[in-house]
Amino acid sequence: MCAPRCAGCAAPRSAVARRTPLAGLCHRRGRAVNRKPPSGGVVEGVDFDRWSVVLCKPDAVGRGLVDAVLERIAAAGVTISSRRDLTAQAWQAHVHYWDLLVDADWFPDRDIPACLDAMYVDRPVTVALAYGEPGFHGRLRQALGHFDPTEAAPGTIRGDLGDDSLEAALAEKRLVRNLVHTSDDAQAARRDFGTWFGAGRRELLAHVPLQTTPTDA
Protein backbone atom coordinates (compact mmCIF):
# COMPACT_ATOMS: atom_id res chain seq x y z
CA MET A 1 0.00 0.00 0.00
CA CYS A 2 1.29 3.45 -0.84
CA ALA A 3 2.46 5.89 1.78
CA PRO A 4 0.56 9.22 2.06
CA ARG A 5 2.62 10.76 -0.73
CA CYS A 6 3.71 7.99 -3.03
CA ALA A 7 5.63 7.64 -6.24
CA GLY A 8 2.48 6.54 -7.97
CA CYS A 9 0.25 9.31 -6.76
CA ALA A 10 2.34 12.41 -6.04
CA ALA A 11 -0.18 13.35 -3.36
CA PRO A 12 -0.07 16.84 -1.78
CA ARG A 13 2.97 17.58 0.32
CA SER A 14 0.72 18.35 3.28
CA ALA A 15 0.06 14.61 3.50
CA VAL A 16 3.66 14.05 4.56
CA ALA A 17 5.45 15.48 7.57
CA ARG A 18 7.43 18.50 6.40
CA ARG A 19 11.18 18.41 6.62
CA THR A 20 13.73 21.18 6.46
CA PRO A 21 16.86 19.99 4.64
CA LEU A 22 20.03 20.60 6.62
CA ALA A 23 22.06 23.50 5.39
CA GLY A 24 25.41 22.52 3.91
CA LEU A 25 28.46 23.78 5.73
CA CYS A 26 31.88 24.66 4.40
CA HIS A 27 34.93 25.97 6.22
CA ARG A 28 36.55 29.16 5.00
CA ARG A 29 39.46 30.76 6.86
CA GLY A 30 38.68 28.65 9.91
CA ARG A 31 35.00 29.65 10.08
CA ALA A 32 31.96 27.50 9.35
CA VAL A 33 29.99 29.20 6.60
CA ASN A 34 26.37 28.33 5.96
CA ARG A 35 26.03 27.97 2.18
CA LYS A 36 22.23 27.94 2.33
CA PRO A 37 20.48 31.28 2.86
CA PRO A 38 17.91 31.48 5.66
CA SER A 39 14.48 30.24 4.62
CA GLY A 40 13.09 32.74 2.15
CA GLY A 41 16.16 34.94 2.35
CA VAL A 42 16.59 34.96 -1.42
CA VAL A 43 13.20 36.65 -1.78
CA GLU A 44 13.10 38.64 1.45
CA GLY A 45 10.00 40.71 2.11
CA VAL A 46 7.64 38.95 -0.30
CA ASP A 47 4.22 38.03 1.11
CA PHE A 48 3.98 34.50 -0.23
CA ASP A 49 0.70 34.10 1.62
CA ARG A 50 -0.77 35.80 -1.48
CA TRP A 51 1.28 34.06 -4.17
CA SER A 52 1.20 30.57 -5.60
CA VAL A 53 3.23 28.97 -8.37
CA VAL A 54 1.19 27.11 -10.96
CA LEU A 55 2.98 24.26 -12.74
CA CYS A 56 1.23 22.85 -15.78
CA LYS A 57 2.88 19.47 -16.07
CA PRO A 58 4.11 17.75 -19.24
CA ASP A 59 0.82 15.89 -19.73
CA ALA A 60 -1.14 19.16 -19.69
CA VAL A 61 1.24 20.64 -22.27
CA GLY A 62 1.19 17.52 -24.43
CA ARG A 63 -2.61 17.40 -24.48
CA GLY A 64 -2.95 21.10 -25.27
CA LEU A 65 -4.74 21.85 -21.99
CA VAL A 66 -2.60 24.64 -20.57
CA ASP A 67 -5.01 27.45 -21.50
CA ALA A 68 -7.99 25.50 -20.16
CA VAL A 69 -6.20 24.75 -16.89
CA LEU A 70 -5.11 28.36 -16.34
CA GLU A 71 -8.57 29.66 -17.19
CA ARG A 72 -10.09 27.40 -14.56
CA ILE A 73 -7.57 28.51 -11.97
CA ALA A 74 -8.30 32.15 -12.79
CA ALA A 75 -12.01 31.40 -12.37
CA ALA A 76 -11.25 30.51 -8.75
CA GLY A 77 -10.81 34.23 -8.12
CA VAL A 78 -7.08 34.70 -8.64
CA THR A 79 -4.98 36.72 -11.06
CA ILE A 80 -2.63 34.80 -13.36
CA SER A 81 0.61 36.48 -14.41
CA SER A 82 4.16 35.80 -15.60
CA ARG A 83 3.30 32.79 -17.70
CA ARG A 84 6.35 31.17 -19.23
CA ASP A 85 7.09 27.99 -21.15
CA LEU A 86 10.27 26.09 -20.39
CA THR A 87 11.96 22.73 -20.66
CA ALA A 88 12.19 21.03 -17.28
CA GLN A 89 15.64 20.14 -15.98
CA ALA A 90 16.52 17.22 -13.71
CA TRP A 91 17.40 19.45 -10.76
CA GLN A 92 14.01 21.20 -10.97
CA ALA A 93 12.08 17.93 -10.90
CA HIS A 94 14.19 16.62 -8.03
CA VAL A 95 13.86 19.81 -5.97
CA HIS A 96 10.12 20.01 -6.66
CA TYR A 97 9.62 16.43 -5.45
CA TRP A 98 12.28 16.53 -2.73
CA ASP A 99 9.99 14.67 -0.32
CA LEU A 100 9.67 11.73 -2.69
CA LEU A 101 13.44 11.47 -2.86
CA VAL A 102 13.80 11.70 0.92
CA ASP A 103 11.26 8.90 1.35
CA ALA A 104 12.44 6.76 -1.56
CA ASP A 105 12.77 3.75 0.73
CA TRP A 106 8.96 3.61 0.84
CA PHE A 107 9.04 2.49 -2.77
CA PRO A 108 11.43 -0.47 -3.08
CA ASP A 109 9.80 -1.55 -6.34
CA ARG A 110 10.80 1.55 -8.31
CA ASP A 111 13.64 3.98 -8.96
CA ILE A 112 12.26 7.34 -7.84
CA PRO A 113 14.87 9.56 -9.55
CA ALA A 114 14.34 7.62 -12.79
CA CYS A 115 10.56 8.04 -12.49
CA LEU A 116 10.97 11.80 -12.08
CA ASP A 117 13.40 12.00 -14.97
CA ALA A 118 11.08 10.03 -17.24
CA MET A 119 8.17 12.33 -16.53
CA TYR A 120 9.93 15.71 -16.51
CA VAL A 121 13.47 15.91 -17.83
CA ASP A 122 13.76 17.66 -21.20
CA ARG A 123 9.98 17.84 -21.45
CA PRO A 124 7.99 21.07 -21.84
CA VAL A 125 6.11 22.56 -18.91
CA THR A 126 4.33 25.87 -18.41
CA VAL A 127 4.61 27.84 -15.18
CA ALA A 128 2.74 30.92 -14.03
CA LEU A 129 2.11 32.94 -10.90
CA ALA A 130 -1.26 33.16 -9.18
CA TYR A 131 -2.07 36.10 -6.91
CA GLY A 132 -5.02 36.02 -4.52
CA GLU A 133 -6.32 36.81 -1.08
CA PRO A 134 -4.18 35.78 1.90
CA GLY A 135 -4.24 32.07 2.57
CA PHE A 136 -5.85 31.14 -0.74
CA HIS A 137 -3.61 28.12 -1.34
CA GLY A 138 -6.02 25.57 0.10
CA ARG A 139 -8.94 26.90 -1.91
CA LEU A 140 -6.85 26.79 -5.06
CA ARG A 141 -5.84 23.19 -4.46
CA GLN A 142 -9.49 22.27 -3.94
CA ALA A 143 -10.13 23.58 -7.46
CA LEU A 144 -7.52 21.11 -8.75
CA GLY A 145 -9.25 18.11 -7.21
CA HIS A 146 -7.95 14.83 -5.82
CA PHE A 147 -4.44 13.82 -6.92
CA ASP A 148 -5.94 10.67 -8.49
CA PRO A 149 -8.07 11.95 -11.39
CA THR A 150 -10.46 9.02 -11.03
CA GLU A 151 -11.19 10.18 -7.46
CA ALA A 152 -11.44 13.89 -8.30
CA ALA A 153 -14.92 15.39 -8.05
CA PRO A 154 -16.78 16.62 -11.14
CA GLY A 155 -16.19 20.32 -11.62
CA THR A 156 -12.56 20.14 -10.53
CA ILE A 157 -9.73 20.43 -13.03
CA ARG A 158 -8.51 16.87 -12.60
CA GLY A 159 -12.02 15.49 -12.36
CA ASP A 160 -13.06 17.04 -15.67
CA LEU A 161 -9.82 16.95 -17.65
CA GLY A 162 -7.76 14.12 -16.15
CA ASP A 163 -7.29 10.89 -18.10
CA ASP A 164 -5.01 8.84 -15.82
CA SER A 165 -5.46 6.88 -12.60
CA LEU A 166 -3.48 5.95 -9.53
CA GLU A 167 -4.19 2.30 -10.28
CA ALA A 168 -2.57 2.54 -13.71
CA ALA A 169 0.40 4.50 -12.35
CA LEU A 170 1.07 1.92 -9.66
CA ALA A 171 0.78 -0.96 -12.11
CA GLU A 172 3.22 0.74 -14.49
CA LYS A 173 5.53 1.90 -11.66
CA ARG A 174 5.42 5.56 -12.60
CA LEU A 175 4.01 8.87 -11.39
CA VAL A 176 0.35 9.60 -11.99
CA ARG A 177 -0.36 12.15 -14.72
CA ASN A 178 -2.62 14.73 -13.09
CA LEU A 179 -2.05 17.86 -15.17
CA VAL A 180 -1.20 20.61 -12.69
CA HIS A 181 0.38 21.59 -9.38
CA THR A 182 -0.19 24.67 -7.25
CA SER A 183 1.77 25.57 -4.13
CA ASP A 184 0.52 23.99 -0.91
CA ASP A 185 1.09 27.07 1.24
CA ALA A 186 3.25 30.18 1.57
CA GLN A 187 6.40 28.22 2.41
CA ALA A 188 5.90 25.95 -0.59
CA ALA A 189 5.21 28.95 -2.84
CA ARG A 190 8.59 30.42 -1.86
CA ARG A 191 10.33 27.16 -2.68
CA ASP A 192 8.38 26.67 -5.92
CA PHE A 193 9.24 30.20 -7.05
CA GLY A 194 12.94 29.54 -6.58
CA THR A 195 12.65 26.24 -8.44
CA TRP A 196 10.67 27.33 -11.49
CA PHE A 197 11.39 31.08 -11.79
CA GLY A 198 14.62 31.60 -9.84
CA ALA A 199 15.44 34.05 -7.07
CA GLY A 200 16.83 36.41 -9.69
CA ARG A 201 13.30 37.02 -11.00
CA ARG A 202 11.96 38.52 -7.78
CA GLU A 203 10.87 41.63 -9.70
CA LEU A 204 7.91 39.53 -10.84
CA LEU A 205 6.67 39.67 -7.24
CA ALA A 206 7.27 43.38 -6.68
CA HIS A 207 3.84 44.60 -7.80
CA VAL A 208 0.28 43.36 -7.64
CA PRO A 209 -0.39 42.02 -11.14
CA LEU A 210 -3.13 43.51 -13.28
CA GLN A 211 -6.02 41.21 -14.11
CA THR A 212 -5.19 39.44 -17.36
CA THR A 213 -6.52 36.51 -19.27
CA PRO A 214 -4.40 33.37 -18.79
CA THR A 215 -3.43 33.36 -22.47
CA ASP A 216 -2.08 36.92 -22.16
CA ALA A 217 -0.28 36.35 -18.87
Find the CATH number of the domain harbouring 147: 3.30.70.141
- The DSSP bridge pattern shows strands 124-131 and 79-87 to be antiparallel
Q: Is the residue at 190 inside a domain?
A: yes
Query: What is the value of pTM for the model shown?
Result: 0.79
Q: d(Cα 194, Cα 209) in Å, to the nearest integer?
A: 19
Q: d(Cα 144, Cα 149) in Å, to the nearest integer?
A: 10
Kindly list the catalytic residues.
Answer: 181
Domain that holds residue 137: 47-205
Cα-based angle 101, 106, 108 (whole degrees, multiple of 5): 95
In the prediction, which pLDDT does 109 show? 82
Inform me whether the pLDDT recorded for 3 exceeds 80: no
- Percent of the chain clearing pLDDT 90 (strictly above): 65
Q: Is the residue at 60 inside a domain?
A: yes
Q: State the total domains in the chain.
A: 1
Which residue has better confidence, 22 or 138? 138
Closest to 14 measured CA to CA, from 196, 181, 198 = 181
Q: Is the residue at 97 inside a domain?
A: yes
In the prediction, which pLDDT does 8 show? 52
State mean pLDDT over 55-71.
99
Q: Is the residue at 156 inside a domain?
A: yes
Q: d(Cα 182, Cα 101) in Å, to the nearest integer?
A: 19
Q: What is the pLDDT of residues 123-138, one digit of tens each?
A: 999 999 999 999 999 9
Element (H, E) at 53: strand 51-56
Q: Is the residue at 127 inside a domain?
A: yes
Q: Is the residue at 32 inside a domain?
A: no
Q: Is the residue at 106 inside a domain?
A: yes
Cα-based angle 48, 216, 51 (whole degrees, multiple of 5): 5
